[in-house]
Structure formats: structure tokens, C-alpha cells
Amino acid sequence: MAELKIYDLVFDPGHGGPDPGAVGPTTKEKDNVLMLAKKTAAILEATGRFQVKFTRATDKDFCEPAPYNDDLDLKNRVKVANALGGDAFYSFHNNSAAVKAYGNEVYALAAGGEGEKMAKAIRARMALLGMVDRGVKYANWYVLKWTDMPAVLIEYGFINSEESVILAKIDQAALAIAQGIGDHFGVSVSANVIKKEVYEMKEAVLAHGIEDYLVPARRESIKLGNCAVFLRFDDKTPPADIYKAEHLTIVGGGSVGHPNETILSGKTWGDTAAAVSATGA
């Protein structure tokens, strides 16, 4: 029997480094889309049919050591993507607007190509998320025009209007995007994959949902192997999924009754950041 093809994908979480992207009440686009892209990649790779490579897997500055500017960021980002190479390119973003706006949209360079087929497959799955479906659109954006492979750009929610929905549905969105990618390549992506990933979670970080605490929380997540970061707001009941992790690290805030928790929290943001730094790189 012929060996099944493994598809190489390039994921590009938008923005990064000094460029936060769009900014919501408590989160930044660059952080949300990195989390979304990693969750999507984990689901796809669990099928055994995809290999995902990232233009950035951390809070990367694509302009360094030069000063940041948009043109250089885009040029270097595409250069990285093309050097990685793959069967398809996916750019992850949160949207924003001057007025209240809602929903998801997926962009391709133009109608009639492979990019449009990719975009339609993802859009069909994201339309089932219970968010506004803004459809497939077309734009002459740099990352769509200059990548050497078929490309799409995913706008997941409007961070200034529906940040809470973006955060609450991020696992569902990752599954929807993964299933859309699977549909395009003819690979079945089961919802059971994401359940398996959650139940086998080894490490997790719980962060108080204030921007100051997200940086040390993500720093700790990277030390622990880029584990999942969950948010709680105003010390309310944390997400139930944290109790499925074998070990929980709390950054900003007190005990939540997890049987194996480590608390890296001080009375101030500075105390918390210092506690995280003290654990070592």
C-alpha cells in the first residue's frame, strides 16, 4: 500500500515583537494569534498527516537588529516563510475596526486559485462557530502575494468588540481551522483529537487576566515547553480545563485548589515578574 502523504504547512502568527497588532481591553493580537496557531498545529499534527512549521513560535521581532518598520517586517516574514517552504501558508490574525464589528473572515489573494479553495474550506468550518460569518474575501496583501506557496490569511474575531468571545472560543476556533485545512487536503480531523490533547495535558499556566501578568505568564509557558495559557478575569472561577493538567503554574493570583499547583504570584506585578524570573530560563 502506498505511504500516505504528509503535508508541510507554514503557519504565520501575525505581528510580534514591538508590533502588538490590534489591541483589545486586556490582550494583544500578537499573543492571541500565536496561541491560536499553536493550538491549530497541535490538532493537525496529532493526525499524523501534517507537519507544521512556524515563522515565529515566540514573540519574535522580524526587523531586529534594525529598527521596526512594517515594510521590513513583512519582507523578512515572507523570506522566513519561503525558506521554510511547504504545501500551503496560513497567516493568523485578529481583526479590529473603528466602530463595533464582529465575526470571522478568510482572505485569499484572488478568486479562482488554490488560495481561494483553502479559504473556502476554512470559512465553511468557521461559519459553524456561532460567530458572525463575514465570508471569503480577496486582498493584495504582501504575505498573500509574495509567498511561494498558496496562501490565506485568517481574521479570527474583532479584538476591540468581542475579545471575550475570541478567548472563550479559541479551542473551538483552532479545531474549526484545523478541520478546514484537513477538508482542503482530504484528511479527516476528528474533534476527538482536541479532547485527547486536553486530557493528556501535562503542564498549564493560569494567568490573571490583566495585561501586566500576561507577559510573565507566557514567559513561564515557554520555559515549560510552550504549554497552554489559560486566563481568569477578576479572580472569578478559572476555566475547568486547567484541572485536567497534571501540573498547574499560577501567575498572578492565589490558589485555585489544583492538586499539584505552583504559585508564582506577588502582591504587585513586579513581584510576580520577579518570581517568574527566579525560576530560571
7-11, 41-45, 86-90: range with lowest mean pLDDT: 41-45
Are the C-beta atoms of residues 78 and 140 closer than 8 Å to each other? no
Burial of 212 (0-12, 13-18, 19+ CB in 10 A): middle
Are the C-beta atoms of residues 187 and 51 closer than 8 Å to each other? no
pLDDT digits (tens, 9 = 90+) for 108-121: 999 999 999 999 99
**pLDDT at residue 199, rounded to an integer:** 47
Residue range(s) in the chain whose domain bears CATH number 3.40.50.12090 = 201-277
Is the confidence at residue 280, as pLDDT, over 50?
A: yes
Instruction: Specify the CATH architecture of the domain 201-277.
Output: 3-Layer(aba) Sandwich (3.40)
pTM surpassing 0.85?
A: no
What cell numbers appear for 216 in the block?
510573565
Q: What percent of the chain has pLDDT over 90?
A: 64
Residue range(s) in the chain whose domain bears CATH number 3.40.630.40 = 7-193
**pLDDT at residue 224, rounded to an integer:** 80
99-103, 104-108, 207-211: range with lowest mean pLDDT: 207-211
What cell numbers appear for 152 in the block?
490565506
pLDDT digits (tens, 9 = 90+) for 172-229: 999 999 999 999 999 999 876 655 554 467 888 888 766 677 778 877 887 787 788 8
Instruction: Specify the CATH architecture of the domain 7-193.
Output: 3-Layer(aba) Sandwich (3.40)
